[in-house]
C-alpha cells in the first residue's frame, strides 16, 4: 500500500485507514466477531490507522478489544474544560488498552485552546505521540485555517471528497507549507456520494486505473493528493473494506484524471 510521511516526524503511514463512526458502536459478541474479521483483514492488507472517538458510543472499547499492537490508534477529546478533558482522555486510554496513544485530536474544535495546552504536556511526557484538531464540516475551515497558521500541531482532520473540493483548494496547500499531516474524513459525504451513483455504471476509463468500484475511485481521488496523509472511510463489512483498500494500491490519479472524475460525477443523473 502507498504510504505518506507525517511531516513532523517523517514516520510513514499507509494512506488507507479505518474510521469507526457508527460501524464500531456495537454490543453483541456476534457483531464484534464480524468486526474482528474487518480489523484482521485491514491489518493483513497493510492498514494501520484506526480512528475513533468517545463520541462514537462503544467504538473505543471495541477498538481496544480488537486492534493489533501495531495499529496506529487515533482518538479524540470531546468535552469542555481542562479537568473534564483530562478525565475523558484517561478513560480513552483505559478503553483502548494503551499506556500511550499515537494521536489525540480535539474533536470538532470543542474547547481546543484548553485541550491543546493539556496535550502539549502529555506529548512532552510521552502519553501521546502526536496531537491535532478535527472537524467534519467545511463551514469550520476558517477556524481550522487560523489554528493551522497559529498553533504547532502535528495533524489536522477534515472533510474532503470529489464533490467537496474546498479543502483541496484552501487547506491542503497550507498543511503542506506548515508541515501538518492531513487525515480526510467523510470521503463519501456520509454515504450521499454512493447513493448518487448507485445506478450509474463505472466509466470505461476506470479500468485503466484498475478500479472496480465507485468507492475505490472516490478514494483514489483523495489519496492522489500528495498532501493527504491518510483517508479513513468507516466500514463494518469485509467486502467493502477490501474495495477501500484497493484504492491505496497501484498508481494514483493525475490532475487531468481527477477533473475527469469530478465532471463525470456532476453529469450523473
Residues 173-221: pLDDT tens digits? Answer: 999 999 999 999 999 999 999 998 988 899 888 988 888 999 999 999 9
| Confidence tier at 265 by pLDDT (50, 70, 90) | confident
pLDDT at 269 > cutoff 80: no
Q: Which of 97, 152, 95, 98 is nearest to 124 (CA)?
A: 152
The grid coordinates of residue 167 equal: 479543502
Q: What is the pLDDT of residues 154-163, one digit of tens each?
A: 999 999 999 8
Q: What is the pLDDT of residues 44-91, one digit of tens each?
A: 999 999 999 999 999 999 999 999 999 999 999 999 999 999 999 999
Q: Does residue 264 belong to any structural domain of this protein?
A: no
Q: Does residue 109 belong to any structural domain of this protein?
A: yes
Q: Does residue 208 belong to any structural domain of this protein?
A: no
Distance between CA atoms of residues 75 and 51, nearest Å: 6
Locus of grid cell 498543511: 175
Q: Does residue 118 belong to any structural domain of this protein?
A: yes
Locus of grid cell 478535527: 134
Distance between CA atoms of residues 197 and 193, nearest Å: 7
What pLDDT was estimated at residue 266?
A: 77
Q: Does residue 23 belong to any structural domain of this protein?
A: yes
Q: Does residue 79 belong to any structural domain of this protein?
A: yes
Helical H runs in 3-81? 29-44, 59-66
What pLDDT was estimated at residue 264?
A: 86
Tell me the pTM. 0.96
Locus of grid cell 456520509: 190
Query: Can you tell me the mean pLDDT for 1-30?
Result: 97
| Confidence tier at 169 by pLDDT (50, 70, 90) | confident
Q: Does residue 81 belong to any structural domain of this protein?
A: yes
What pLDDT was estimated at residue 208?
A: 85
Angle between the N-to-C axes of helices 238-246 and 214-223, in degrees from 0 to 180, rounded to the nearest 10: 40
**Contact 153/109 with Cβ under 8 angstroms?**
no
Distance between CA atoms of residues 73 and 104, nearest Å: 9
pLDDT at 34 > cutoff 80: yes
| Confidence tier at 231 by pLDDT (50, 70, 90) | very high
Query: Can you tell me the mean pLDDT for 234-257?
Result: 93
Range of the domain at 151: 12-187+225-252
State the CATH number of the domain containing residue 121: 3.20.20.100
**Helix, coil or strand: residue 83:** helix
pLDDT at 251 > cutoff 70: yes
Q: How many domains does the chain have?
A: 1
Q: Does residue 34 belong to any structural domain of this protein?
A: yes
Looking at the chain, the whole-number percentage of residues with pLDDT higher than 70 is: 100
Q: What is the pLDDT of residues 101-123, one digit of tens each?
A: 999 999 999 999 999 999 999 99
Looking at the chain, the whole-number percentage of residues with pLDDT higher than 90 is: 87
pLDDT at 149 > cutoff 90: yes
Amino acid at each position: 500500500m502507498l504510504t505518506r510521511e507525517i511531516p513532523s516526524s517523517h514516520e510513514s503511514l499507509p494512506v488507507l485507514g479505518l474510521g469507526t463512526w457508527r460501524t464500531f458502536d456495537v454490543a453483541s459478541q456476534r457483531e464484534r466477531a464480524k468486526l474482528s474479521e474487518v480489523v484482521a483483514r485491514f491489518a493483513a492488507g497493510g492498514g494501520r490507522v484506526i480512528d475513533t472517538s468517545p463520541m462514537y458510543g462503544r467504538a473505543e472499547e471495541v477498538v481496544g478489544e480488537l486492534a493489533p499492537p501495531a495499529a496506529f490508534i487515533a482518538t479524540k477529546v470531546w468535552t469542555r474544560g481542562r479537568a473534564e478533558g483530562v478525565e475523558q482522555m484517561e478513560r480513552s486510554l483505559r478503553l483502548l488498552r494503551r499506556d500511550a496513544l499515537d494521536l489525540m485530536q480535539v474533536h470538532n474544535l470543542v474547547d481546543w485552546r484548553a485541550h491543546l495546552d493539556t496535550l502539549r504536556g502529555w506529548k512532552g511526557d510521552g502519553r501521546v505521540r502526536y496531537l491535532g484538531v478535527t472537524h467534519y464540516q467545511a463551514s469550520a475551515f476558517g477556524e481550522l485555517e487560523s489554528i493551522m497558521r497559529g498553533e504547532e500541531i502535528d495533524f489536522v482532520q477534515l472533510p474532503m471528497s470529489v464533490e467537496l473540493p474546498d479543502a483541496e483548494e484552501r487547506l491542503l496547500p497550507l498543511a503542506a507549507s506548515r508541515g501538518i499531516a492531513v487525515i480526510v474524513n467523510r470521503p463519501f459525504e456520509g454515504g450521499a456520494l454512493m447513493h448518487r451513483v448507485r445506478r450509474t455504471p463505472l466509466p470505461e476509463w476506470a479500468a485503466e486505473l484498475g478500479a472496480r468500484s465507485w468507492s475505490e475511485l472516490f478514494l483514489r481521488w483523495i489519496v492522489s493528493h500528495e498532501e493527504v496523509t491518510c483517508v479513513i472511510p468507516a466500514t463494518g463489512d469485509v467486502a467493502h473494506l477490501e474495495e477501500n483498500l484497493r484504492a491505496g494500491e497501484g498508481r494514483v490519479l493525475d490532475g487531468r484524471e481527477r477533473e475527469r472524475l469530478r465532471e463525470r460525477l456532476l453529469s450523473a443523473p
